[in-house]
Each structure stands twice: as C-alpha cells, then as structure tokens.
Amino acid sequence: MTLHKRLVKVDATDPKQVAQARAIIRLLYNVNSRAYVRKNVRFRELETVFAYCWRGTHLTDDDAGRDCLYIAACHIWHMARKCGADAAIEEWARLWAPWCGPAELAALIERVAANPQTWTADELADELGYILPFSVRQALGLTTIGSFDVNKRGREQRRERTTRTTAPSGGDGTVQSRGQNGSPRTPQVATSLG
C-alpha cells in the first residue's frame, strides 16, 4: 500500500492491503467517535506546541527533538493502530523530522509498537518539560495538554476564580448586579423629591 497526501494506491489482490484501506476509510468517515476526535485535538495541540517551541515544522536533530518525535509517534500509534500506524508514523516523521534516517525510524517504530505510551494532560506536560509553562499553554489555547508549573487542581481553582469574578449577564446583554448572597438585587427606582 502506497500512501500519498490523500491518495492511497492499494493492490486489490492483497487482502491485507484492502482491509487496511477499508479500515482507514471507516476511520475517516467515523465522525461519531468522540474518543478519536479528542485524540485528534490532542495531536493538533501537540503539533502546535512543537511548532511554537521549535519555531516551525521541523524538530531539532538532538535529544529534545528525538523525545518530541517519540511522543508524537506514540500518539500517532494510538490514533492509527487499526489502519497502519507504521506508515502514519513514517509520513509524520518525514515531514517533521527529515533528519531521522530509516534505521533510526525503524527502531523508533519498533519501540513504540512494543510499548505505546499514553499520558494524562499533566504527565504530558511533565514529559515535554520546561517548554510548556502555564502562560504559554494559555497563549496557545491548549485544552488537552497541561503545564509543568500549574497542575490540574491549580487550573481548576483558577477557572473557579475566573467564573466567580465575572458577573452573569441578563438576557438583554446588561450585567445584573448581585447581592452578598449571590441573588439578584431588586432594582432601586430613583424618585425626585421636589
């Protein structure tokens, strides 16, 4: 099976290739799968972090770039394990890590296939390390990746503080003032004495 950007050439006499192609098609058209959509959001955000950190779409040819390549390969493996994760990892590495040779890429794929790691939002932030503080997370608009300096509970507390300080608005767009117990105040009617 040969993969190009959107074109897949399949040998119709090879049942394995036909099954993989059909699995890819089912995956592409399965819009009701919330888990797959969430993984795509996580991966899109991961690419955003890489692009921010490395100032473009190429990882650096060093240990940090290889660590990022491993993280991406694990995510790709989980997204594409039913329809050819090896080819998807190879294609992504060709675009983002052109310095990665065939032997190194084969070893990476073997490592990922043997133990495809998963991360929670905070675990992934710890794995990425210093490149993702809370301020950068907020600036990039990330929701599925944490930050190394503010954990999940800290982010929840910040969210609670933010929602408490903003007053709810009325149906006409005006802000309703609230009393001490949180209930709406009764409007005061101004009367003129005179």
What does the pLDDT read at residue 30? Answer: 53
- Evaluate whether 76 touches 89 at the Cβ level (below 8 Å): yes
Residue numbers of the domain that contains 41: 2-118
**Structural domains counted in the chain:** 1
Q: Average of pLDDT values for 130-139? A: 84
- In angstroms, the first-to-last Cα distance of the chain is 90
SS3 133: coil
The answer to which of 95-99, 112-116, 135-139, 161-165 has the lowest mean pLDDT is 161-165
Residue 177 in domain: no
- Evaluate whether 150 touches 134 at the Cβ level (below 8 Å): yes
Crossing angle (nearest 10°) for helices 63-80 and 121-128: 150
Q: What is the pLDDT of residues 52-95, one digit of tens each?
A: 888 888 899 999 999 999 999 999 998 887 778 888 899 899 98
User: What is d(CA 104, CA 93) in angstroms, rounded to the nearest whole number?
Assistant: 11
Q: Which residue has the higher pLDDT, 143 or 172?
A: 143
Residue 86 in domain: yes
Residue 181 in domain: no
The model's pTM: 0.64
> Between the CA atoms of 131, 135, 138 and 144, what dihedral angle is there, to the nearest 10 degrees?
40
Tokens representing 189? 């009617």
What Cα–Cα distance (Å) separates residue 39 from each residue in 118, 126, 147? Answer: 11, 19, 18
Residue 155 in domain: no
Residue 126 in domain: no
What does the pLDDT read at residue 67? Answer: 93
Tokens representing 122? 């905070």
Q: What is the pLDDT of residues 156-165, one digit of tens each?
A: 888 888 888 7
Band (pLDDT 50/70/90 cuts) for residue 191 is very low
- Evaluate whether 99 touches 54 at the Cβ level (below 8 Å): no
Cα 67 from chain centroid?
Answer: 17
Residue 149 in domain: no
Count Cβ atoms within 10 A of the Cβ of residue 68 and give its class: 0-12 exposed, 13-18 middle, 19 or more buried.
buried
Residue 150 in domain: no
User: What is d(CA 106, CA 97) in angstroms, rounded to the nearest whole number?
Assistant: 13
Residue 82 in domain: yes
Q: What is the pLDDT of residues 14-53, one digit of tens each?
A: 888 777 777 766 655 554 444 444 458 888 899 888 888 8
User: What is d(CA 185, CA 7) in angstroms, rounded to the nearest whole number?
Assistant: 63
With 50 as the cut, is the pLDDT of residue 130 above it?
yes
Beta bridge mates, 8: 3
User: What is d(CA 135, CA 138) in angstroms, rounded to the nearest whole number?
Assistant: 5
